[in-house]
Structure formats: C-alpha cells, structure tokens
C-alpha cells in the first residue's frame, strides 16, 4: 500500500527528484480543492497513524481568496448554504456553514433571515475559516508552472513532478512529487478579441480593487460603461451606480433585456448529484441537449431580484427626470479609443447600424469566464491524457482523466469537465460530493497499489 506514513512519506525516488512523495498534490486552492482537503482531513482522522492520505495543496495567491474582485457588499450566493463544502457529503461534518455560524455566534440571527442564500462576503468568511483549519495542508504563494510525468526504469509513470514558483524571487521554484494530482484551477476571465486591459478598461473580476484605486486617487467618474448581460454585468452596473452617485452608468448588451436565471425547483435538479450520473452516462447528443435546455440556470442570466431592482431604479430616475442608469440594448461596442479625458466608446445599435460615441471614464467587460486550457498547465503531462473525437479530454466518472496504459499516476479534474459531468462542473453545487468521490477513488487506488 502506498499510503504515506503519517505525514510526509520519505521514499527514495527512482531518480534525483524530490524525496517526499505525496499521495495527492492539489493544484489551486479554491473551494473545490478546499473541499477535497477537508474530505482528506476527515478520512485521516478516522485512520491509524500510518493509514492516512498524504496531501499537499498548492495555491498561487498569498492566502485564501474566492473571487475577491467581485465581493460586492450586498451580493448573495446563488447556491443554497446547504451546498457548502461538506454537508451534501457528510451532514455531520463540523466543517459546515452552520458550524461556522455557530462558532461566530450568528446561527439564530442567520435563521431569522429565512434565506438559503447567504451574502457572498459571509460565504467567503466561511471558506476562509475552513481553509484556516486545514492550513497545514496548503502551500500559498506557490504558482504551479509545470507538471512532468516521472518515468521509472520500466518506462511506466508512477508519479508527477509538479514545479511551482515560490516567493523567493522570480526564478525561485520548488518541485514536489506525487502519485496523483487534483487540478482545480478554476476559470479565467474572458475578454472580446483584441481587448487591452488598462487602468480604465477592466474585466469585472478586477472591479473592487480598481474602484478602490480610483477612489483613493480621487479620480472623478462621470460615466462608466459595462458590457455584458449576465449576473456579473448586472451586479457591476448596480454597484457602480451606487458607488458613484454623480455618474451615468450605461449597460451595453446585444440582448433586448436581461434574462432571469432559472432557479425553479425542477430545473435546479440538473445540479443534483444524481444528475451527474445521468449526464455522464448519456450519449453526446443527449448531453448537448441537456446542456442547451438548462444553460439558463447559469449562463448569461441574472437573478430576478436584481433585474427588478435595476428596473425600479431606472424607472424612478425617469420619474424624477434625472436618468443616470441607462441600458443600451441590442447594441455592441465597436471601438474603444482614447479621448482627451478618458475613453471614447463607440456603441452600435444593431437594428440600424447607428453609432454613438460615449465619452467614458471606465469600461468594464463583464464578458464571462472560460475554462483554463489544461494542456497549457499540464505541459508534458497533457501528452499522456486521452482525448475524444472532439479533442476534449476523456474523464472517468471518478473525475480521473483517462491516460495511456503505461501511466499509473492519476490526474483528477475539478472544473473543466462540463463535457463529461455536466453543468455543475464549474459551480459549487456538487463540490462536497465530488470531493468525496475523488477522496474515495484515491483511497481505493492507493490501497490497490
């Protein structure tokens, strides 16, 4: 059995590589790998000293942080607090959101709100609280640069070497070795082709720190343009409107109006753990239709409460005769130039082709996120991953990438698996359950080896 003995296993590696061989190295330490760290911790607590899983998680940020740039003070979660890091896997876990609330002395106060959807800032505090409890499993300020399969004398791959940049200067790197890796690096901001970010042109993921910079510098904001019609776009419009009380805020999008997110009970079942089984076992055309039918649970949609609040604000301003909140619908941004005092954003009204140029202080692209290309991150290790006819990575039900026959080391993916595991792949809905599935798969493979 290849389980680590207590903490770090000191096994002589077949070459001059790292002497410590971890059972699993997590790449990225957002909610997905945090949930896995907790699942490992709970498993190890039940094991005799020599029987635990030796895990280490590598995170490029200096501390835990979950989409900090969008931690708008009044934004709420879009998933029930019961879909926290543990409850769907182990309702008795003391890593639950309820245990966090109890520890903070807020359980009764929270319940009196009669909501399943906490503030995002509160859930962030919950994540931080949980991350602090497994801090001994995490190395922060460790950006993974490469993953290299290590071949033994027989040519088989039993391990990966994972090299990361460390804070000791640009060239400081350290290499860790593991029998398995769990890749959970999240999504990356998506921008329209040719977009150059700058002090005035942002992606919404930069919203809060950029606004804080402007405010600190005393830079006046007379107009801000937000491109996009999804949840982040609507939140950015609302936030900028409240933050700059003298500015005009323009939402620009190709749709006629914001589309409400479908969070109705039957549609929400697409995020059930059982739905992952159904999706996984479906032929590709059924997968595609399920995805298309239910994309309005997540993509390019906005919570109804926020839609109604924005509409009410726009209408109130119309009544009062001072319209600061404007929506340029059925429109696209065609050009962004630099003017005398800021940006000049050319917006085309699509039905007529008519253009207007908006002198603007800020342009926010709320244009979504895309899965990271794991080929780039995995580098050499990507070559051992099998791909399907559409060139997507083949992934098993246990979230492990299918690899060539000579590879015995495992690559687990959390996120980037919408094509195999469905819409919940990039969300929090099945995070706890998925972490348990990966933990169980690790245990059974480690026991078998």
- For residue 141, which phi and psi values (nearest 5 degrees)? 50, 40
Per rule CB under 6 A, is residue 182 in the interface with ligand FDA? no
Q: Residues 398 to 437: which contact ligand FDA by CB under 6 A? A: 414-415, 426-429
Q: How far is the CB of 372 from ligand FDA (least distance, A)?
A: 7
**Interaction of residue 99 with ligand FDA, rule CB under 6 A:** no
Sheet with 55-58, strands from edge to edge, namely 138-139, 55-58, 24-27, 180-183, 410-413
Q: Does 67 bind ligand FDA (CB under 6 A)?
A: yes
By CB under 6 A, residue 365 contacts ligand FDA: no
What are the tokens at 59?
């995170």
CA atoms within 13 A on the CB side of 288: 4
What is the CA angle 411-416-422, rounded to 5?
Answer: 110
* Region near ligand FDA per CB under 6 A, out of 7-15, 96-104, 183-191, 353-361: 183-191
Residue in this structure with the two tokens 């009970």, named with its chain if needed: 265
Shortest CA distance to 294 belongs to which of 318, 314, 277, 269?
269
How many residues bind to ligand FDA according to rule CB under 6 A?
31
Residue 27: CB minimum distance to ligand FDA, A = 6
Name the segment binding ligand FDA (CB under 6 A); options: 54-62, 107-115, 337-345, 382-390.
54-62
Query: With binding defined as CB under 6 A, does residue 30 bind ligand FDA?
Result: yes
**363 vs 377, which CB is nearer to ligand FDA?**
377
Q: By C-beta, is 128 or 317 nearer to ligand FDA?
A: 128
Residue 25 as a binder of ligand FDA (CB under 6 A): the answer is no
Q: Does 32 contact ligand FDA by CB under 6 A?
A: yes
The answer to whether the beta carbons of residues 7 and 54 sit under 8 Å apart is: yes
d(CA 91, CA 258): 37
Contact between 189 and ligand FDA by CB under 6 A: the answer reads no
79 by Cβ neighbours in 10 Å (0-12 / 13-18 / 19+) ranks as buried
The DSSP H or E segment spanning 54 is: none
Window 121-150: residues binding ligand FDA (CB under 6 A) = 143-144
What span, in angstroms and rounded, lies between the C-alpha atoms of 186 and 319? 43
If one asks whether residue 58 binds ligand FDA (CB under 6 A), the answer comes out as yes
Binding site for ligand FDA (CB under 6 A): 27-33, 58-61, 66-67, 70, 77-79, 143-144, 184-187, 232, 377, 414-415, 426-429
């Amino acid at each position: 059995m290849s389980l680590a003995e207590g903490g770090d296993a000191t096994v002589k590696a077949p070459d001059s590589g790292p002497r410590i061989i971890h059972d699993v190295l997590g790449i990225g330490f957002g909610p997905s790998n945090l949930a896995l760290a907790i699942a490992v911790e709970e498993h190890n607590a039940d094991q005799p000293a020599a029987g635990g899983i030796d895990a280490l998680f590598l995170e490029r940020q200096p501390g835990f942080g979950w989409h900090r740039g969008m931690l708008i003070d009044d934004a709420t979660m879009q998933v029930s607090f019961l879909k926290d890091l543990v409850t769907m896997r182990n309702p008795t876990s003391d890593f639950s959101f309820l245990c966090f609330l109890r520890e903070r002395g807020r359980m009764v106060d929270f319940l009196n709100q009669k909501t399943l959807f906490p503030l995002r800032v509160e859930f962030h505090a919950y994540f931080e609280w949980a991350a602090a409890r497994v801090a001994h499993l995490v190395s922060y300020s460790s950006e993974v640069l490469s993953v290299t399969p290590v071949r033994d004398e027989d040519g088989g791959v039993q391990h990966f070497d994972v090299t990361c940049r460390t804070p000791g200067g640009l060239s400081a790197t350290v290499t860790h070795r593991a029998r398995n890796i769990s890749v959970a690096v999240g999504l990356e901001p998506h921008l329209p082709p040719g977009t150059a970010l700058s002090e005035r042109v942002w992606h919404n993921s930069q919203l809060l720190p950029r606004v804080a910079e402007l405010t600190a510098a005393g830079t006046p904001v007379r107009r801000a343009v937000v491109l996009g019609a999804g949840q982040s776009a609507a939140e950015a419009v609302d936030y900028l409107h409240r933050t700059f009380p003298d500015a005009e805020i323009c939402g620009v999008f190709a749709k006629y109006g914001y589309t409400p997110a479908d969070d109705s009970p039957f549609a929400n079942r697409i995020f059930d753990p059982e739905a992952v089984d159904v999706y996984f076992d479906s032929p590709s055309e059924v997968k595609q239709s399920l995805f298309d039918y239910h994309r309005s649970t997540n993509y390019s949609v906005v919570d109804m409460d926020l839609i109604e609040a924005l509409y009410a604000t726009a209408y109130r301003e119309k009544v009062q005769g001072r319209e600061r909140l404007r929506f340029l619908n059925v429109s696209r941004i065609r050009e962004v130039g630099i003017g005398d005092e800021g940006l000049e954003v050319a917006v085309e009204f699509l039905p007529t082709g008519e253009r207007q140029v908006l002198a603007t202080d800020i342009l926010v692209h709320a244009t979504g996120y895309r899965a990271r290309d794991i080929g780039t991150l995995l580098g050499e290790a990507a070559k051992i991953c099998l791909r399907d006819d559409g060139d997507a990575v083949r992934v098993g039900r246990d979230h492990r990438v299918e690899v060539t026959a000579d590879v015995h080391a495992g690559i687990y993916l959390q996120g980037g698996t919408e094509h195999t595991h469905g819409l919940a792949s990039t969300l929090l809905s099945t995070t706890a359950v998925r972490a348990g599935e990966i933990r169980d798969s690790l245990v059974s493979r480690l026991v078998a080896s």
